[in-house]
Structure 1
Amino acid sequence: TPHRRQIKELLLRQHRPEKRCLPGATTPWTPQTKAETRLVQELSRLSGYPAAQIHPSHHLELDLGIDSLMKMELLLLLETLSPQKGAATALPVEQLLQKVHTVQDLLALLHPSPDPKPRSRSPEKQAFDAFQYLTTRNSLFYQCATRLFHFLLRHTYQHYFRLQCRGLEHLPSTRPYIIAANHTSHLDSGAIITALGKEARHLYILGARDYFFNHPWKGWFFNTFLHVLPFDRHENFLQGVRVSKEALSQGHSLLIYPEGTRSITGALQPFKRGLGFLACEARVPIVPAYIHGSYEALPKGAVFPKRRKITVTFGPPVSIDAFCARRGKMPNHLLYQEVIENVRRRIEELRDHHLRAE
């Protein structure tokens, strides 16, 4: 409607402050290479300031208003612009985020100097590689063990929790997708796996690295039997994006909880923009899902599950193509916010429809 367009234009003007002048640009400076020009253009697009005003001395957060998610976009761009592909982001992302504070820091990453003596990483840092959890295990023991586990899981959900599933016809059959579901219980992932049936063989679940992979045996169990992939919620976000994109490119689908953690009340929590960022990067549809009953069966903090009926409802997929077509025409963080608000509304509609039907 015209009223909504006016509001959107007002918000865009607020995020693109053309009348303000950036501080600190006392020394004239112009980009020297095409890569530097492309980087400055991206900084201009993200910050809303004219490219001519951006100077190497400007602070990314204090001067340009670049938040952590925008920094991730810039690091992904640096990977493609650097003459040595991947060299710009060879360090762990948590170290990069600690190093990158100014435009000059980004320019330094764009032209990394050769290091004849690369710094050795601690055994713990060397040992953990999220990509290793994408490896397919074809041994007879693995196949027998996973089949037995999934049989027990299916039997538990169908008979103890009386699982019901609706909307399976909405799942895309010709391409990978992201399932975005509400999260109130440790029972949620098992409910989705059981609801998908044989399709669950092609599903990976994004799980918090600091919770599911804080011990080797724990990471092995959840990756082997539930296909959980480590996703760092606090520091190594970029590696999680890479692993997720690689899983999707291999034809697997992903289960993501956009709230980031379990709700302690059972109500929907605010969604993280990372879902919109990942969906736009991978260009795959998002299938909204609503899980009912898992909170009553096993809320956060409980140890033993109660016998409660669990229902999983899938909604029509949210196409990401229209959002991707608008990248670069508006601040990306606003675009990602639109994506998650759209998905959240779909999940709320599934919830309301379920509650009315009961």
Structure 2
Amino acid sequence: MVNKDFPNKAAIITKDSVITYHQLGGHIHQYSQFIGKREIKKIAIFSENRPEWIYAFYAAWENGCIAVPVDFMASVDDVAYIINDCRPEIIFGSAGTKDSLDKIQQKLSYQPEIQIFDEVNLPAFTDADHWEGPSDRETTAVIIYTSGTTGSPKGVMLSFKNLDANITAVTKEVAIYNPDRQVLLLLPLHHVFPLVGSMVVPLHIGATAVMSPSMQTADLMETFKKNQVAIMIGVPRLYELMFKGISTKINSSIVARTLFAIVRRFHSKKLSRKVFKKVHDGLGGHLEIMVAGGAALNKEVGQFWKDLGFEILEGFGMTEAAPMITFTRPGRLRIGSPGEALPSMRIEIRDGEIVAKGPNVMQGYYNRPEETAEVIKDGWLHTGDLGYIDKKGYLFITGRKKEIIVLSNGKNINPLELEYKLEKASDCIREAGVFIKNEQLHALIVPNFQLLSEKEIKDVDAYFRNEVFPPFNQEQSSYKRIMQFTIVRDDLPRTRLGKMQRFKLAELVEKPKPGAKKVDQLDMPEYLAVKSFLESQVDIDIAPNQHIEFDIALDSLGKISLIDYIEQTFGVAIEEKQLIQFPSLKHMAEYIRDKKQWIKEGTANWSEALKEKVEVKLPKTWFTQNILKGFFKGLFSIYFKMQSKGVENVPETGPYIIAPNHQSFFDGLFVAILLKRNIMHNTYFYAKRKHVKNFILRFLANTNNVIVMDTDRDLKESIQKLAEVLKQGKNIIIFPEGTRTTNGAIGEFKKTFAILSTELNVPVIPVAIDGAFKAMPQGSKLPKAGTKISVTFLPAILPQDHTADTLADAVQAAILETMPN
């Protein structure tokens, strides 16, 4: 089964090694000798992808044994169930699964031989005769347990004949594989899709399988960069994640958007690859074919990769078909269809269900003749999927037979249809799952937390309840309307290849009773360290399932402190945008665990950060500043009843920080028009880049002492730039609340200004603005004429004997004392 024609060619490439076909054969023979000629019928492999996994797998075949791949991330109970069901005599594991195997052994009804790859004592490496495979191709080759979209897994028995049918299909009938194309080995090999597509087929024809250390972006990009991967075997979720990253970059540039529109119109693969050469180079420069399987590929995602010049091939199948039933022919892509039947297969639609017949249909479920008879009838495999075949022979899938929701009034609902519509209804929905609960349609929503943060949405439930579901339901038939929804932090339960496990959705709706205490169940050093730091910053109990922003309500400065703490303690650099993408602290801790360089005590150190030299180009002050200042001063004195006090408290020379409360859109102007010309000339505002988008606003900013900063991308750098302005002897105006008040009351004062003051020994001048909210509350388009507005400049507060916290409190208290009750 392993090719013998290219002994010196690379068979497997890992991050650290190249294994030739000669070496591969020798290693397989080592494991084969280790297994020996004992009375062994089945060998299980419970390990992450690694070369030894492949050696043991082929060695099982060489010894006439059935291979039983087991998901290395499955629960102890699930693995124990599988092992007890098929009773392999030997289980190969790894150092990473050893602890789980110890627990699994306690749940087994017999005592198999456990061998750990890292500890196994193999015979010496010797040249071996090439094994051609069994003479009887009807012999069972593997038992692969389904991941369970509806319940407990079943062992699918596949013969060598079943596997041969798929090998022939993709190498001769729909020839996408050849010995010159490297194939990415990325997905876990316990599933038949990557087992056949990224291991069995490449090694059978003499191609090279390139093994990525993990699915993390850094590992994946490094694997592409160092090799010449031409074929990528992946699941739709992986292609969706890659799509989001690349499409975001394209959409952020008007030039890239225009070029993408052009190549989409021309439908030329050659043009697309030339125009978007940078994208192709980022994926190694050799990637031609993307194969998607395991679940349905999103139409938009498929079209995107096609437009970029990749051959995106989608297939339909199941473990019971080893695995392919239909496949897309190169150059004949139909977006939304997983292609046409394999040449050796026949497919039909019976009562809406897709049924298939051919040489790749399984032998049956291990020890389950009754369940086998339910899905194989007269040689036809009943897939359980619903669909139709168009006039040209393309298959289209519309849903799962078992997933169709039947309401008490007899109406049938396809949840996939509603989930697709929901994910399109709001870009703040990352994932949706629909099921029936208490005779009502219920939706689980996994939000896009980064986008919610960018939109400054604080009450997530209220947003979806008031802004998303009313217009969505209005467009649906009455019986298809979502009546209840639940926000969840974690990804929805899916199989390892992306199929939703709908039977588990209801479990996620169960919430702890009001008042129930949250219990930490995560005994991970990285999590405990982050938990301890956060509890020193905020006055709440921290739990693993909480989100950094929406549960813990950590503000931007708090996030920066956490980022610095993580970098100092673990050597892991995280950007603020990345921080809020973690669905929970548990996910963040796992990321830190995987990336950490060290573990040591660390605290946020603003003193060191503000000592760093940062280049700041101050905008030039044009003569128009005085004209505009005079214009608005005259306009406001006519339009409002303006009063001012304490202007004499503003020193002639700086540096210092002017800190007003924030009531309206005009607050900056209310302060600026009262400052003397020479003071105003040396006083700078700052504005968020997202608020200064068009040419006119950028021009006004560059000519009127406004420094534009990207606080969403890098708050720490923005604070360093403000510090640099103060170091140059200039003054800055900062609104400590960060945003305008929504109800007229003074909000919490953020510590940014106080940190700058205490670290640089710069005084703070509090400014009390009253009446501006009444004149122009949030949402109003025009201010109310004749409103009484007062601006009071208070005596400077010096930072000596203050911490950043106490200084922020002191400035807020001074302003509150000035405001009328």
| TM-score bracket, shorter-length normalisation | 0.5 to 0.7
2:817 is the alignment partner of 1:337: no
In 1, Cα distance between equivalents of 2:761 and 2:784: 39
Residue of structure 2 equivalent to 1:135: 619
Deviates most, 265-274 or 57-66: 57-66
2:785 is the alignment partner of 1:301: no
1:62 is matched by which residue type in structure 2? Answer: K
In 2, Cα distance between equivalents of 1:101 and 1:279: 33
2:643 is the alignment partner of 1:164: yes
Confirm or deny: 8 A CA contact 2:619 2:702 kept in the other structure: no
2:531 is the alignment partner of 1:62: yes
2:631 is the alignment partner of 1:152: yes
Residue of structure 2 equivalent to 1:201: 681
- Write the deviation string for residues 107-161 of structure 1: whole angstroms up to 9, x where unpaired: 89x9xxxxxxxxxxxxxxxxxx9934x2325xxxx32x33322221121123322
Alpha-carbon offset, residue 235 of structure 1: 4.0
Confirm or deny: 8 A CA contact 1:293 1:309 kept in the other structure: yes
Cα distance change, pair 228–253 in 1 and its aligned pair in 2 (3 A): same
From 769, 791, 801, the equivalent of 1:291 is: 769
From 685, 694, 714, the equivalent of 1:236 is: 714
Cα distance change, pair 246–93 in 1 and its aligned pair in 2 (3 A): farther
2:672 is matched by which residue type in structure 1? Answer: I
In structure 2, the residue corresponding to 1:275 is in which secondary structure? helix
Confirm or deny: 8 A CA contact 1:72 1:238 kept in the other structure: no
Runs of 4+ in 1 over 6 A off after TM superposition: 75-78, 95-100
Cα distance change, pair 75–177 in 1 and its aligned pair in 2 (3 A): farther
Structure 1 unaligned blocks of 5 or more: 1-56, 83-87, 111-128, 324-334
Residue of structure 1 equivalent to 2:662: 183
Higher strand share: 2
Alpha-carbon offset, residue 288 of structure 1: 0.8
Cα distance change, pair 97–299 in 1 and its aligned pair in 2 (3 A): closer
Cα distance change, pair 93–296 in 1 and its aligned pair in 2 (3 A): closer
Confirm or deny: 8 A CA contact 1:288 1:347 kept in the other structure: yes
Residue of structure 2 equivalent to 1:18: none
Cα distance change, pair 97–265 in 1 and its aligned pair in 2 (3 A): closer
Confirm or deny: 8 A CA contact 2:620 2:702 kept in the other structure: no
Residue of structure 1 equivalent to 2:512: none
In 2, Cα distance between equivalents of 1:243 and 1:235: 14
Alpha-carbon offset, residue 310 of structure 1: 1.9
- Write the deviation string for residues 83-121 of structure 1: whole angstroms up to 9, x where unpaired: xxxxx98x976569989947945889x9xxxxxxxxxxx
Alpha-carbon offset, residue 178 of structure 1: 0.9
2:735 is matched by which residue type in structure 1? Answer: Y
Higher helix share: 1
In 2, Cα distance between equivalents of 1:219 and 1:61: 40
Deviates most, 166-175 or 249-258: 166-175
In 1, Cα distance between equivalents of 2:732 and 2:638: 26
Confirm or deny: 8 A CA contact 1:289 1:350 kept in the other structure: no
In 1, Cα distance between equivalents of 2:702 and 2:592: 36
In 2, Cα distance between equivalents of 1:267 and 1:165: 20
Confirm or deny: 8 A CA contact 1:130 1:229 kept in the other structure: no
Alpha-carbon offset, residue 280 of structure 1: 2.1
| Match runs of 1:218-233 below 5 Å | 218-225=697-704, 227-233=705-711
In 1, Cα distance between equivalents of 2:794 and 2:784: 27
Residue of structure 2 equivalent to 1:252: 730
Confirm or deny: 8 A CA contact 1:93 1:238 kept in the other structure: no
Residue of structure 2 equivalent to 1:319: 798
Cα distance change, pair 297–63 in 1 and its aligned pair in 2 (3 A): closer
Cα distance change, pair 73–201 in 1 and its aligned pair in 2 (3 A): farther
| Match runs of 1:30-41 below 5 Å | none
Cα distance change, pair 70–309 in 1 and its aligned pair in 2 (3 A): same
Cα distance change, pair 72–350 in 1 and its aligned pair in 2 (3 A): farther
1:187 is matched by which residue type in structure 2? Answer: F
In 2, Cα distance between equivalents of 1:293 and 1:146: 25
Alpha-carbon offset, residue 315 of structure 1: 1.0
Cα distance change, pair 61–343 in 1 and its aligned pair in 2 (3 A): same
From 210, 216, 225, the equivalent of 2:690 is: 210
Cα distance change, pair 272–187 in 1 and its aligned pair in 2 (3 A): same
1:136 is matched by which residue type in structure 2? Answer: K
- Write the deviation string for residues 274-319 of structure 1: whole angstroms up to 9, x where unpaired: 2322222332111111112212222211111222232110111111
Confirm or deny: 8 A CA contact 1:178 1:285 kept in the other structure: yes
Cα distance change, pair 221–317 in 1 and its aligned pair in 2 (3 A): same
In structure 2, the residue corresponding to 1:321 is in which secondary structure? coil
Confirm or deny: 8 A CA contact 1:206 1:228 kept in the other structure: yes
Confirm or deny: 8 A CA contact 2:684 2:707 kept in the other structure: yes
In 2, Cα distance between equivalents of 1:241 and 1:186: 23
In structure 2, the residue corresponding to 1:311 is in which secondary structure? strand
Q: TM-score, normalization: structure 1?
A: 0.60
In 2, Cα distance between equivalents of 1:223 and 1:106: 44
Cα distance change, pair 244–294 in 1 and its aligned pair in 2 (3 A): same
In structure 2, the residue corresponding to 1:210 is in which secondary structure? helix
Whose relative contact order is higher, 1 or 2, with alpha carbons under 8 Å and at least 6 apart? 1
Confirm or deny: 8 A CA contact 1:130 1:230 kept in the other structure: no
Cα distance change, pair 97–266 in 1 and its aligned pair in 2 (3 A): closer
Confirm or deny: 8 A CA contact 2:576 2:712 kept in the other structure: no
- Write the deviation string for residues 5-61 of structure 1: whole angstroms up to 9, x where unpaired: xxxxxxxxxxxxxxxxxxxxxxxxxxxxxxxxxxxxxxxxxxxxxxxxxxxx64552
- Write the deviation string for residues 201-238 of structure 1: whole angstroms up to 9, x where unpaired: 21112333322x2334423323423x222344544111
In structure 2, the residue corresponding to 1:241 is in which secondary structure? helix
Alpha-carbon offset, residue 171 of structure 1: 1.9
In 2, Cα distance between equivalents of 1:223 and 1:190: 16
1:147 is matched by which residue type in structure 2? Answer: N
Confirm or deny: 8 A CA contact 1:161 1:310 kept in the other structure: yes
Question: What is the number of residues matched between the two proteins?
Answer: 251
In structure 2, the residue corresponding to 1:338 is in which secondary structure? helix
In structure 2, the residue corresponding to 1:247 is in which secondary structure? helix
2:816 is matched by which residue type in structure 1? Answer: E
Alpha-carbon offset, residue 345 of structure 1: 0.5
- Write the deviation string for residues 54-77 of structure 1: whole angstroms up to 9, x where unpaired: xxx645523543752424665999
In 1, Cα distance between equivalents of 2:567 and 2:801: 22
Alpha-carbon offset, residue 342 of structure 1: 1.1
Alpha-carbon offset, residue 185 of structure 1: 0.5
Structure 2 unaligned blocks of 5 or more: 1-524, 538-557, 582-587, 603-613
Alpha-carbon offset, residue 351 of structure 1: 1.0
In 1, Cα distance between equivalents of 2:715 and 2:673: 29
In 2, Cα distance between equivalents of 1:275 and 1:262: 16
- Write the deviation string for residues 224-261 of structure 1: whole angstroms up to 9, x where unpaired: 23x22234454411121111111111221111111111
Alpha-carbon offset, residue 169 of structure 1: 2.1
